[in-house]
Amino acid sequence: MRVDVLTLFTAMFDGPLNESILKRAQADGRLDAHIHDIRTYATDKHHTCDDAPFGGGAGMVMKIAPLAAAIEDISSADGAPAHVIYLTPDGTTLTQAIAQELSRKPRLMLICGHYEGIDERIRTRYVHQELSIGDYVLTGGELAAMVVIDAVARLLDGVISADSLAEESHSDSLLEYPHYTRPALWQEMPVPPVLRSGDHGKIAVWRRQQRLERTYLRRPELLSTAILDKADRAFLRSLGWYDSLWTQHPPRRAKPKAESE
Ligand code: 6GU
């Protein structure tokens, strides 16, 4: 996958792209990341990229011309047209399902805004999708772009093992089971005995129940999209959960009142 990032702060990407899994994904040719400085597309002497907002108010807005020139230049450069994403706190919140969709695209372009954001007409003309990474405000889109790159790159074929992807949090709307490694006893805290029993059937049941319990206690809303079998439901009910018709199906309409009432 090719990823082009448009930013005023290229150096912010140096660390995340040059360590660990993202570094290896690039070395292996699975991720082809290009970080572009929007400022180099500004044509005036001072390479101005921001301007005062029409209508007044606080802060500055990123100018159209340098951004438009960068987008047109880079999105037409070799190969498939890019899926263009603008990182903004008013975008759709990134989810694992969105990361999965994006991982199937051949090419992404990530536009990072700063100041109060970019001119609305750039969004109208060029942007296919607007993404946020959560309900809090960052100083700019760069950290969000790195989050998108990381979440997507690890899903590309061969970047990490299929086994690791299979049972992880959010892949099937359930949180992960807890992990343990040696020593078996640490500060009077033993590893759950079932994990040392050698009984793989029992271990699988225990792990499934841990996932269900954690999800129920921490993120109960996720259970409405999880695929649950009879045993899962019985276990959850033993914890106090009930699978109400209200969350599983559209609410039923009340019976119409009898004529006489
Ligand atoms: Cl994408 N940008 C900014 N500036 N703040 C954010 C965000 C994006 N997502 C969450 N907060």
CATH number, position 26: 3.40.1280.10
Contacts of 235 (CB under 8 A, 6+ apart): 209, 212, 213
Query: Do residue 131 and residue 15 come from a single domain?
Result: yes
* Mean pLDDT score, 188-201: 98
Q: Taking CB atoms and a 6 Å cutoff, what residues make up the pocket around ligand 1?
A: 87-89, 132-134, 136-138, 140-141, 144
Asked, for residue 179, whether it belongs to a domain, the answer is no
19 C-alpha to center of ligand 1: Å? 23
Question: In this structure, are 96 and 192 located in the same domain?
Answer: no
Residues 117, 157, single domain; the answer is yes
Tokens 């140096």 belong to residue: 14
47 and 83 together in one domain: yes
DSSP assignment string, 126-148? H-SEEEESSSS--SSSHHHHHHH
Q: Do residues 100 and 128 touch, judged by C-beta distance below 8 A?
A: no
CATH number for the domain spanning 189: value is: 1.10.1270.20
Residues 13 and 130 in one domain: yes
Q: Which domain holds residue 237?
A: 185-245
15 and 138 in a single domain? The answer is yes
Return the best residue to mutate from 6, 61, 88 for the ligand 1 pocket (most ligand atoms within 8 A of CB): 88
Whether the CB-CB separation of 192 and 206 falls below 8 Å is answered with: yes
All residues at 6 or more sequence positions from 253 whose CB lies less than 8 Å from its CB, including other chains: none
Which atom of ligand 1 is nearest the CA belonging to 87? 1
Number of domains in the chain: 2
Q: Could you tell me which residues come within 8 angstroms of residue 55 by beta carbon, excluding any fewer than 6 positions away?
A: none
Residues 75, 203, single domain; the answer is: no
Q: What's the whole-number mean pLDDT along residues 11-40?
A: 97
Q: What is the pLDDT of residues 78-107, one digit of tens each?
A: 778 999 999 999 999 999 999 999 999 999
**Are 81 and 107 a contacting pair, CB within 8 Å?**
yes
Q: Where are the beta strands (DSSP E) in the chain?
A: 2-7, 32-37, 50-51, 61-62, 83-93, 107-112, 129-132, 185-186, 189-190
pLDDT on residue 254:
65
Instruction: Please report whether residue 108 resides in a domain.
Output: yes
Answer whether residue 223 shows pLDDT above 70: yes
Q: Are 91 and 9 members of one domain?
A: yes
On whether residue 175 sits in a domain, the answer given is no
Structure tokens at 56: 């007044």
**Per-residue pLDDT at 33 exceeds 70:** yes
Answer for the pair 222, 175: CB distance below 8 angstroms, yes or no: yes
The answer to whether residue 246 scores a pLDDT higher than 60 is: no
pTM listed for this prediction? 0.90
